[in-house]
Amino acid sequence: MNQVNPGPEPTKEPAKQDGVVDISDAGSVLQPNFQARSKQRPGQHPPRQQKRRHRGHGSPAGAVANTQKPNRPERRDRRNYRHASPAKAKVQPLKGTIVSRGHGQKLRIIPLGGSGETGDKNMLVFEYDRDILVVDAGVKFPTPDMPGIDYVVCDTTYLEENRDRIRAFLITHGHEDHIGGMPYIWPKFPVPIYTAPLTAGFIKAKFEEHGITNAEFRIIKSGEKIQIGAFSIEPVQMTHSIPDILGLAITSPAGLVFHATDWKVDFTPAFGKPTDFDKLAELSRRGVLCMLTDSTGVLVPGHTLSEQVVSKSLEDIFVEAKGRLIVSSFSSRIDRLQHVASACAKVGRRLFLAGRSMERNANIAIDLGYLKVPQGVLGDIRTVNSLPDSKIVVMCTGSQGEEGSALTRMSTGEHRHIRIKQGDTVVLSSSTVPGNERAVEQSINNLYRCGAEVVTKSELDIHSSGHGSREEIKHILNIVKPKYLIPIHGDYRRFVEMRKLAVTLDIKEENVLIIENGQIAEFDLQGKGTISDEKVQVGSVLIDGLGVGDVGEIVLRDRQTMAADGVFLIILTVDGRKGTLLTSPDIISRGFVYMKESEDLISETRAAVKRSHAAHISRTKAQTNWELFKKELRDDIGQFLFDKTQRRPMVIPVVIQV
Ligand SMILES: [Zn+2]
Ligand SMILES: [Zn+2]
- The string of pLDDT tens digits covering residues 414-431 is 999 999 999 999 998 877
Give the pLDDT mean for 257-277.
88
Tell how far the Cα of 245 is from the centroid of ligand 1, in angstroms: 11
Tell how far the Cα of 52 is from the centroid of ligand 1, in angstroms: 41
Tell how far the Cα of 36 is from the centroid of ligand 2, in angstroms: 54
Ligand nearest to the CA of 173: 2
Q: What is the b/e burial string over 536-571, where b = at least 16 CB atoms within 10 angstroms of the residue's CB?
A: bbbbbbbbbeeebbebbbbbbbbbbbbebbbbbbbb
| Lowest model confidence (mean pLDDT) among 87-96, 213-222, 561-570 | 87-96
In the predicted model, is pLDDT for residue 175 greater than 70? yes
**Sign for the pseudo-dihedral over CA of 418, 424, 427, 428:** positive
Task: List, in order, residues 6 or more apart from 248 with CB less than 8 Å away.
Answer: 135, 170, 172, 233, 234, 235, 236, 258, 259, 260
Ligand nearest to the CA of 202: 2
- Which percentage of the chain shows pLDDT scores above 70? 82
Q: Report the pLDDT value the prediction gives residue 61, as an integer from 0 to 100.
A: 31
Tell how far the Cα of 6 is from the centroid of ligand 1, in angstroms: 21
Q: Report the pLDDT value the prediction gives residue 596, as an integer from 0 to 100.
A: 78
Which range of 48-52, 139-143, 235-239 scores highest in mean pLDDT? It is: 235-239
Give the pLDDT mean for 433-456.
87
Tell how far the Cα of 77 is from the centroid of ligand 1, in angstroms: 35
| Lowest model confidence (mean pLDDT) among 46-60, 242-256, 302-316, 585-599 | 46-60
Ligand nearest to the CA of 118: 1
Ion ligand 1 — residues with CB < 5 Å: 177, 262
Q: What is the ipTM of this complex?
A: 0.99
Q: Report the pLDDT value the prediction gives residue 92, as an integer from 0 to 100.
A: 57
Tell how far the Cα of 214 is from the centroid of ligand 2, in angstroms: 26
- pLDDT classification of 144: cutoffs 50, 70, 90: low
- pLDDT classification of 91: cutoffs 50, 70, 90: low
For 603-625, write each residue's pLDDT tens digit.
899 999 999 988 888 888 767 78
Tell how far the Cα of 577 is from the centroid of ligand 1, in angstroms: 64
Task: List, in order, residues 6 or more apart from 583 with CB less than 8 Å away.
Answer: 31, 33, 34, 573
- Which percentage of the chain shows pLDDT scores above 90? 50
Ligand nearest to the CA of 332: 2
Task: List, in order, residues 6 or more apart from 524 with CB less than 8 Å away.
Answer: 105, 106, 254
Instruction: Check residues 91 and 138 and name the one with the higher pLDDT.
Output: 138
For 304-330, write each residue's pLDDT tens digit.
888 778 788 888 898 899 999 999 988
Instruction: Check residues 546 and 439 and name the one with the higher pLDDT.
Output: 439
Tell how far the Cα of 177 is from the centroid of ligand 1, in angstroms: 5
Give the pLDDT mean for 538-551.
75
Tell how far the Cα of 174 is from the centroid of ligand 2, in angstroms: 7
Ligand nearest to the CA of 113: 1
- Rounded Cα–Cα distance for residues 206 and 182 (Å): 8
Tell how far the Cα of 196 is from the centroid of ligand 2, in angstroms: 14
Give the pLDDT mean for 557-573.
82
In the β-sheet with 378-379, what is the strand arrangement from edge to edge? 378-379, 350-354, 392-396, 325-328, 425-428, 453-455
Tell how far the Cα of 259 is from the centroid of ligand 2, in angstroms: 14
Tell how far the Cα of 136 is from the centroid of ligand 2, in angstroms: 11
Q: Report the pLDDT value the prediction gives residue 458, as an integer from 0 to 100.
A: 66
Tell how far the Cα of 112 is from the centroid of ligand 1, in angstroms: 14
- pLDDT classification of 235: cutoffs 50, 70, 90: very high
Q: Report the pLDDT value the prediction gives residue 335, as an integer from 0 to 100.
A: 84
Instruction: Check residues 326 and 594 and name the one with the higher pLDDT.
Output: 326
Which range of 151-165, 280-294, 314-328, 441-455 scores highest in mean pLDDT? It is: 280-294
- pLDDT classification of 135: cutoffs 50, 70, 90: very high
Give the pLDDT mean for 491-509.
96
Q: What is the 3-state secondary structure (H, E, C) of 296-350?
A: CCCCCCCCCCCHHHHHHHHHHHHHHCCCCEEEECCCCCHHHHHHHHHHHHHHCCE
Q: Report the pLDDT value the prediction gives residue 592, as an integer from 0 to 100.
A: 85
Tell how far the Cα of 171 is from the centroid of ligand 2, in angstroms: 11
Q: Report the pLDDT value the prediction gives residue 431, as an integer from 0 to 100.
A: 76
In the predicted model, is pLDDT for residue 450 greater than 80? yes
Tell how far the Cα of 10 is from the centroid of ligand 2, in angstroms: 35
Domains annotated for the chain, with CATH where assigned, are: 23-86+552-657 (3.10.20.580), 106-302+465-523 (3.60.15.10), 308-455 (3.40.50.10710)
Ligand nearest to the CA of 114: 1
In the predicted model, is pLDDT for residue 95 greater than 70? no
Ligand nearest to the CA of 263: 2
Give the pLDDT mean for 472-482.
96
Task: List, in order, residues 6 or more apart from 594 with CB less than 8 Å away.
Answer: none
Distant-in-sequence contacts of 607-612, Cβ < 8 A, 24+ apart: 608/636, 608/637, 608/640, 609/570, 609/572, 609/585, 609/633, 609/637, 610/581, 610/584, 610/585, 612/636, 612/637
Instruction: Check residues 521 and 435 and name the one with the higher pLDDT.
Output: 521
Tell how far the Cα of 93 is from the centroid of ligand 1, in angstroms: 25
Tell how far the Cα of 333 is from the centroid of ligand 2, in angstroms: 9
Tell how far the Cα of 74 is from the centroid of ligand 1, in angstroms: 38
Give the pLDDT mean for 475-491.
96
For 179-231, write each residue's pLDDT tens digit.
999 999 999 999 999 999 999 999 999 999 999 999 999 999 999 999 999 99
Q: Report the pLDDT value the prediction gives residue 462, as an integer from 0 to 100.
A: 62
Ligand nearest to the CA of 334: 2
Average of per-residue pLDDT values in the chain: 82
| Lowest model confidence (mean pLDDT) among 69-78, 123-132, 305-314, 347-356 | 69-78
In the predicted model, is pLDDT for residue 93 greater than 70? no
